[in-house]
Amino acid sequence: MVTAKALVLPELNAPFQLVDVELDSLRPDEVLVELKATSICATDPAVQRGKIPLDFPVVLGHEGAGIVKEIGTAVSGLSVGDHVVLSYNSCGKCRHCQKRNNFRCVEIMKRNFGGKREDGTQTLNWNGKPVSSCFFGQSSFCNPAVVQANSCVKVDSSLDLAVVCSLGCGIQTGAGSVFNVVKPVEGDIRSLGIFGLGAVGCAAVMAAKIISQDKPKVLSQIIAVDTNEGRLKLATDLGATHTINPEKEDVKARLSEITRQEGLDAAVDCSGVLSVINTMIESIGAGGIAVTIGNPGNDSKASVPILPFIAGAKTYSACHQGNADSKSFIPHLASLYLQGRLPIDCLQKLYKAENINEAIADMKSGSVIKPVLLWT
């Protein structure tokens, strides 16, 4: 077996530990990836806190980027030496996957949150025992990592892997919520509200700015909502035309003023806070669309006013992974980054992999938006 370094979460609410593990041999549909960087997404500490149930001990990580070192016998489209960004996993076989709508894969929960391979085995062992792994098909808090081929997205070797690793989940989700779900260029959408300015929300602001630049009559109002004044300033720098701090202003009243009492044409919640989701829903106007990204918990229920939705022909939609086919969407986002139009590096702070607990603490405090772990 190949030995590796892994950031193991031994139990609920415990700190991560850097330990030696043993990797299982590659299955035909797997790839061995030498990680260069893995960024932290809110989903990782959500498992740590028990918000997302998984068996412990577990190796998480789902925004990895690195270089292919070995490929399984059934893998096509990848070669040793390729640079890859790691994203979500899917079966590749169901009717949704066959149409490249992998984000709707019928096995999406099992493949990403099942804690094991499809055949029930684990990709790594710690102290001689199997550990929950294959998280998002990658468990990229391990280096090297055994990765499902469907999670690998080939990218140009000139790209800085410490930057583009963040495209694997959070940035893809935020940008995709605007490009692929709201789709402003396909409708009469002038106002967009973005609730919550973590990495996902900031990516949504970036995407909205790109669209407003390419289509000047679209998205003339990009409204960012957050309680963190520093992040509101950042949102302005990224392209927001208006900002609202709920601790200082009545959100619904201010949105009504900005939109001249018409309500938002579109809104995206990136906070995962139930009260914020309800405010978002109540703030969209006739013909508007409200999009949920953040998960407030498995038992949480949004409150949707049915009659106004019917009378206003409104839409309430969910968004998963930006409703994106990662194989094509991540390279597109990478090209936007190279053009200087998707400045995701301004959200990042670099840490050594062994300093993961410090990185998560900084993320929780709000002092850092997107921590990136470097494997050296």
pLDDT in tens, 100-114: 999 999 999 999 999
pLDDT digit string, tens, across residues 244-285: 999 999 999 999 999 999 999 999 999 999 999 999 999 999
Q: Is residue 141's pLDDT more than 80?
A: yes
Residue 316 in tokens: 């309430």
pLDDT at 310: 93
Contact 291, 182 (CB under 8 A): yes
> Could you tell me which CATH class the domain 174-320 is placed in?
alpha beta
Please check whether the domain covering 2-168+343-374 is classified as CATH 3.90.180.10.
yes
pLDDT at 217: 84
pLDDT at 171: 98
**Phi, then psi, of 181 in degrees rounded to 5:** -110, -55
More confident residue, 304 or 149: 149
Rounded CA-CA distance 268/280 in Å is 8
Contact 3, 20 (CB under 8 A): yes
Measured at the alpha carbon of residue 292, what is the angle toward residues 291 and 294, in degrees to the nearest 5? 145
More confident residue, 2 or 39: 39
Domain map (residue ranges) of the chain? 2-168+343-374, 174-320
Fill in the DSSP letter of residue 271: S
Rounded CA-CA distance 282/280 in Å is 5
pLDDT at 212: 95
Residues 6+ apart with CB under 8 A from 137: 86, 88, 89, 111, 112, 147, 148, 150, 151
Length, in residues, of the chain: 376
Across the range 356-366, mean pLDDT stands at: 96
> Which parts of the chain fold into alpha helices (H)?
43-48, 95-98, 108-113, 161-164, 170-176, 199-214, 229-238, 251-258, 274-283, 306-311, 326-338, 356-365
When pLDDT is cut at 50, 70 and 90, the band that residue 376 belongs to is: confident
Across the range 15-34, mean pLDDT stands at: 97
Report CA-CA distances (Å) from 159 to 61, 87, 109, 140, 303: 21, 16, 30, 19, 43
Across the range 129-134, mean pLDDT stands at: 96
pLDDT digit string, tens, across residues 116-125: 999 999 999 9
Residue 45 in tokens: 């500490």
Contact 294, 315 (CB under 8 A): no
